A and B are shown apart, each in its own frame.
Chain A
Amino acid sequence: MDKILRINMGASGGPSQAVEKAGEYTALGGRATTSMIVAKEVPPDCHPLGAENKLVIAPGMLSGTAAAMSGRISVGCKSPLTGGIKESNAGGQAAQVMARLGYAAIILEGKPATDDLYKIHIDKDKVTISVDNSLKLMDNYPLVEKLREEYGDKVAYMTIGSAGERKMAAASIACSDPELRPSRHCGRGGVGAVMGAKQVKAIIFDDNGCKNRQPKDPEKYKAANRAYVEGIRKHAVSGEGLPAYGTNILTNVLNEAGGYPTNNFKTGFFEGGTKISGEAQAELEIKRGGLATHGCHRGCVIQCSGIYNDKDGKFLTKQPEYETVWSHGGHCGIDDLDTIAMLDFLDDNIGVDTIEMGVAVGVAMDGGVIEFGDCEGAIRLVRDEVGKGTPLGRILGGGAELTGKAFAVERVPVVKGQALPAYDPRTVQGIGVTYATSTMGADHTAGYAVATNILKVGGDVDPLKPEGQVDLSRNLQIATTAIDATGMCLFIAFPILDQPETFDALLDLLGSFYGIEMTGDDVVALGKKVLTLEREFNKKAGFGAEDDRLPRFFKTEPLAPHNLTFAVKDEELDELYNWS
């Protein structure tokens, strides 16, 4: 990955392209690359949908190599949802294919003067940017179907649905999976709206004639990959739990722990939880001839995903993730898996973040738009309002915060304008620290304290007490930022937190690939460097300490069954970035 492709969508006479040397980004990837480029090139006070914002796409450091689990792609920009820096990553095939094509990053900048819609085709010889107004307002599934007629099946697609074109702040970018379903999304923070603002509907990566990227030390690399895969397979979470039940295994766990936010964060236990649990979902998937185990990209050995068929055994959607099942399920008082699966499909098709969308619908329910538990109503809101871009749909598609304002809801679960995911910070205090302080806005993946608080993987910190949570979240945020640079799926954190030899195998993979010595300290240093840059960007964009806070109701409304409030003090939160 020694080159960067820069496309100026606003060049006079139509989009222009230039290939540059990757320079300082050659041995970087993922979030490190996107955040460094955004921090360097995007004015922090620019309008996220304006010509000055840039959309940066980067595969991970080990994407496009033989390393297992290395297929995450990062997209960065100034977020239209939070107003701060954003990195959103997804699986699917795009990272591997883009990396094999040799690009460390693609930077989309400027803004077309006309209202033409573009597609960008990239193969080993050339980059073709063409107008295709026949794609206007198409949603992801039919869009990819149509593109396949032209570009075939041996490519990877990154696309936006109608929500991205309408520049909704919840809009996502879809990455196609091995079967070319646009089902893996860079969901969070409205990255799809920025792609829409650049008027780019689709990027098609074709690596025909390209080989895997080759390591500097092939022998050591092979051995490291073997040890790495072994470690992943032998850990109970990555080797058994995730493949068999997917991430939705967590519904019962969080519900039993009393940390499952229900009916817009009113209580921590959902009566209907077992009906939509991972156990129930896996059973139903198998019964209907779907799959309970499926990888989102080739080279994934965990395979946490699956295929969800409808009553007639026809493909409906990929296996909805825990967070999706929660946002459209318990958060909305909905305990019907078919409704949730339909909403997952609609989100993927329209191209919106399932977390933001579900939380917004739940907030709308709290505002009286429809009743909690109204399955038909929830489908109607997403399909007929968001999907058609009606005024109500634009409010919902603008995210939970906008929805809360529009319907005068007091309880709006957002930090920095981004919706909280599926773990209540009053019962899982460590994840509350991550929500409050992450540069990304409320984001569980930024520092997954749930592992240590609830799952007891990688240590044990009492979830119900404030003690130790800031240190825990800080360490996890630093480590996660580094993992987000490697292109590795975050679920490798379970084996590498518990098994030192598996962490060493990852270091060896990185070291032998780039011909350097990689230590744990280097990983920490990289994480700190990127987080510092992101925080600086946010400061210049107008964020201060008062933005590193949870909404006040978490401090004042106790949550059943534990009847606790979020007890980490503001001064303690302010210590998160105090490291030396």
Chain B
Amino acid sequence: MIQVNVKLFASFRIGRFDREIREYPQATTVADVVKELGIPEGEIGILLLNSVHVDLKRQLVDKDVLAIFPLVGGG
């Protein structure tokens, strides 16, 4: 198993959590995490893995920090 620090933001927090250390089997992808959390893929705006943009196919490793945002903007 690997441990991943999952952080959710904005509307994705509603009914879920702000941040949690979660356990996953080896070879888990970002898409698997998103699915497990019940987040519709179409609503995802930004995925940051250890501060770098990634796509859903990326495999996770132990101690990764994954931040999941809906589409957001400002300025």
Contact = CB atoms under 8 A, between A and B. Distances in A.
Contacts of A249: 9-10, 72-74
A321 B53 CA distance: 25
A467 to B, nearest CB: 15
Interface in B2-49: 7, 9-11, 13, 18, 43, 45-46, 48
A245 B46 contact: no
Contacts of B7: 256
B48 A257 contact: yes
B1 interface: no
A427 to B, nearest CB: 8
Contacts, number: 97
Given A253-B46, A257-B51, A455 B9 contact: no
Contact of A455 (B11, B43, B46): B46
B70 A322 contact: no
Contacts of B10: 241, 244-245, 249, 278-279
B51 A444 contact: no
A269 B48 CA distance: 14
Nearest to B74: A247
The secondary structure that dominates the A interface is helix
A40 B11 CA distance: 49
B11 A451 contact: no
A494 B46 contact: no
Contacts of A444: 75
B74 A304 contact: yes
A450 B75 contact: yes
A76 B59 CA distance: 51
Contact of A494 (B13, B43, B52, B73): B73
A80 B67 CA distance: 42
Given A253-B46, A456-B46, A463-B53, A241 B70 contact: yes
Interface stretch (A81-89, A152-160, A204-212, A232-240): A232-240
A241 B13 contact: no
A145 to B, nearest CB: 31
Contacts of B9: 249, 252-253, 256, 279
Given A236-B45, A258-B51, A250 B13 contact: no
Interface residues of A, number: 43
A448 B69 CA distance: 19
Contacts of A269: 51
A246 interface: yes
A246 B74 contact: yes
A183 interface: no
A207 to B, nearest CB: 30
Contacts of A253: 9, 46, 69, 72
B71 A236 contact: yes
A561 B13 contact: no
Contacts of A450: 75
A491 interface: yes
Contacts of B74: 241-242, 246-250, 278, 304, 321-322, 491
Given A256-B51, A464-B52, A240 B73 contact: no
Contacts of A180: none
Contacts of A235: 71
Interface in A226-280: 235-238, 240-242, 244-250, 252-253, 256-258, 269, 274, 278-279
22 contacts: A235-B71, A236-B70, A236-B71, A237-B71, A237-B72, A241-B10, A241-B70, A245-B72, A249-B72, A250-B73, A250-B74, A256-B7, A322-B74, A444-B75, A450-B75, A451-B75, A455-B73, A457-B73, A462-B53, A490-B75, A491-B73, A561-B51
Given A245-B72, A279-B9, 18 more contacts: A236-B45, A237-B73, A241-B71, A241-B72, A241-B73, A242-B74, A247-B75, A249-B9, A249-B72, A249-B73, A250-B75, A252-B9, A253-B72, A256-B67, A256-B69, A462-B53, A491-B74, A491-B75
